[in-house]
Amino acid sequence: MNTFRTLFLVLVASQILGCSTIKASKIDGSCYRTNFETELWSTYDNVYVGPFLLGYQDKPELTDDNSPVGVIGKNTSLEVQRVIKGGNGSRSFLRIQLKVLDGLHQGKIVDIPTCASYHPLPKWIKGCTLDPNQIAIDSNFLSPCEI
């Protein structure tokens, strides 16, 4: 009986607090370049976002900082590291994390604005899908790397 109660409490807590799962996606490993200079924000690192988020119009809700920690330059190369399915109990969403491949912030893992809760506008993806193989980067923000 105690085992079932414990399992039930764990399931309820995971729904209330949110959870994240890495999903395989056709964009995994893809390389993109930034189309313009963008701000790098230090963020809360939770179910909604990792430690850094790119943005350029407004301060994200997912930070206590009053200014960005840096700038990612135009034409900076980024590689998709993972697509993450997250949820907060009432809503599910996909996040995309990319690795900065060059420049001052090389090696940092950054989220881009998606349809995840509390992400700033505009979104850097086309549409709001929960299918990791249907998610598509908006070419107004990131362009495929030239090979």
Chain segment 99-108, per-residue pLDDT in tens: 999 999 999 9
Chain segment 133-147, per-residue pLDDT in tens: 999 999 999 999 986
Tokens of 86: 């997250």
Sign of the torsion formed by the C-alpha atoms of 45, 48, 54 and 58: negative
Q: What is the pLDDT of residue 80?
A: 97
Q: Indicate yes or no: pTM above 0.95.
A: no
Q: What is the pLDDT of residue 1?
A: 52
Tokens of 67: 């200014």
Contacts of 139 (CB under 8 A, 6+ apart): 35
